[in-house]
Amino acid sequence: MKFDASQFDNLELDNIGQWPAAAKLLLAIFLAVTVGFLGYMGLISDQVKKLEGAFAEEITLKQSYRTKYHVAANLDLFRAQMVEAEDTFANQLRSLPNSHEIPGLLDDITFVGTTSGLDFVKLEWQPEISKEIYIELPIDIEVIGPYHSFGQFVSKIAGLPRIVTLHDFKIKIEKGDNETLNLKLQAKTYRYQEGGVQ
């Protein structure tokens, strides 16, 4: 069969029944493609988006299930860890000085300093700093003595039964004596804000 382009000349929409078979076939293909495209855009594309959303939700739900299953399978272990964490927290709270022990803490720091071979120039409380669950109690300390005595002092402070942290170290040589140094630092202890476990 030979293709003849002249058969597409003078085609009118009013007379589709008289069109040649090739023109009818092309029109049918064009209409099928147009209807298929419009049907896809109008009906199927929304469903495809919903399906993709359902696949993404399925992945999220599976991950959530795995996490919850892991927690449920290890619930006894998590409960034991929670009890251990609460015990550790209670022990840490007991390491914080209560209001009756705070004056004794200054005595302990003084004792630790003098037994380390240091002389105190300054030892005074600074204003309390209130934090979310605890109160910070800073103490300004200035001592003089040999360098190795500073190490003993810091080591003994760390060994106190109550929590004391040391900050802002400044060391300088005392005037006229290369063996004697001046150490300024701030010690901080803490008190539980809500009067927790003592």
pLDDT at 161: 79
Cβ neighbourhood burial of 50 (10 Å; 0-12, 13-18, 19+)? exposed
- Which band of pLDDT confidence, cut at 50, 70 and 90, is reported for residue 62? very high
What average pLDDT does this structure show over 129-142? 84
Sequence letter at residue 165: T
- Which band of pLDDT confidence, cut at 50, 70 and 90, is reported for residue 196? very low
Q: In whole angstroms, what is the distance from residue 71 CA to residue 86 CA?
A: 19
pLDDT at 46: 79
Domain identity same for 149 and 182: yes
Q: In whole angstroms, what is the distance from residue 91 CA to residue 165 CA?
A: 17
Domain identity same for 102 and 66: no
* In-domain check, residue 4: no
CA separation, residue 57 to residues 50, 51, 61, 76 (Å): 10, 10, 6, 30
CATH number for 173: 3.30.70.60
Q: What is the helix (H) or strand (E) element at residue 6, kind and residue range?
A: none
What average pLDDT does this structure show over 146-164? 86
pLDDT at 162: 79
* In-domain check, residue 128: yes
Q: Number of structural domains, the chain? A: 2
Domain identity same for 186 and 101: yes
Least confident interval from 72-86, 138-152, 180-194: 180-194
194 pLDDT higher than 90: no
pLDDT at 57: 92
Average pLDDT, the chain: 80
Domain identity same for 103 and 188: yes
* In-domain check, residue 156: yes
- Which band of pLDDT confidence, cut at 50, 70 and 90, is reported for residue 71? confident
**Residue found by looking up tokens 């009818």 in the block:** 24
Sequence letter at residue 78: F
Coil vs helix vs strand at 10: coil
Domain identity same for 53 and 139: no
> pLDDT tens digits for 87-127?
887 776 666 666 656 667 788 888 888 888 888 888 888 88
Domain identity same for 59 and 143: no
For 142, list phi and psi in degrees, rounded to 5.
-135, 125
pTM (two decimals):
0.49
Residue 56's domain comprises 18-73
pLDDT at 198: 40
